[in-house]
Amino acid sequence: MKRFAYPLAILASSVLASACTDDIPSSDPLPPGSTQGGENNTFDHPGDSISPWELLDRLTKEGPPSFTSHMHSCPKVKYATLGNVLTGVGINAANTAAVSAGDLYTNGANALGAANYPNRIRENVALTTSGASREFDIFAAGAPEVIAAFTAGTIARCPGVKLFDSSNACQPEGITCLTGVPATAEHVQFCNLTVTSASDVPTGQKLAVAAILAAAYTCE
């Protein structure tokens, strides 16, 4: 009998202890306003997934993810490559004049994510805000040099090509020379709109050159 007496006594005492307390756990232990998921504060996952035919159509048009990740990615232009680009479009990357494109390029190596070999730091492969801002500054400062190279027909990557004609209209061949891809009608329209919307033609041409280069080399 003693074998069953102790378990019964323990069970009875636990029942009495729970009956004498008011701390009964509620069905919702989290008070209102606490951190918990809901329709208004979490990502809504749709219940219906994409059909196999829609997925097949997407893969046929866009290619597999391993391909699209390379095609649609936007890595930073390497520091040395950017220097070659500047030289190719008529900018003197070795220019030491204050606030020139060459000066901004040479003294902006850290902002542009160049490698720091003495400290064993590799080149940054991601495009940062500081790097994009410095590239914008370089293209804006170097725009007059680019225009001068086009005017003289001495631009390295495409000698003799004109960016603006005698009436200051943008030429597709010149835009193609700057971007490295065939210019479309939209590119020409954008270039002409930038030129005509500025306070004067020279300023508009500089803005157009800077904007075209920035769009081509900073994924904008």
3-state secondary structure 54-108: HHHHHHHHHCCHHHHHHHCCCCCCCHHHHHHHHHHCCCCCCCCCCCCHHHHHHCC
- Residue 71 identity (one-letter amino acid): M
136 in any annotated domain: yes
Q: Determine the structural domain holding residue 164 and report its residue range.
A: 79-217
Three-class SS state of 181: coil
Could you give the CA distance from residue 187 to residue 158 in angstroms, rounded to a whole number?
18
Residue type at position 202: P
What's CA 135's distance to the chain center, in Å? Answer: 13
One DSSP character per residue, 13-51 reads HHHHHHHT---PPPS--SPTTSS---TTTS----SSPPP
Is the pTM of the predicted complex or chain greater than 0.85?
no
* 53 domain residue, yes or no: no
The answer to the question of residue 12 being in a domain is no
Domains held by the chain: number: 1
* 66 domain residue, yes or no: no
The verdict on residue 58 lying in a domain is no
Tell me the pLDDT of the chain (220 aa) as tens digits.
445 454 445 445 554 454 445 555 555 555 555 555 565 655 555 555 678 888 888 788 877 777 766 666 667 899 999 999 999 999 999 999 999 999 999 999 999 999 998 889 999 888 888 899 999 999 999 999 999 999 999 998 899 999 999 999 999 999 999 999 999 999 999 999 999 999 999 999 999 999 999 999 886 5
β-bridge mates for residue 116, sequence order: 121
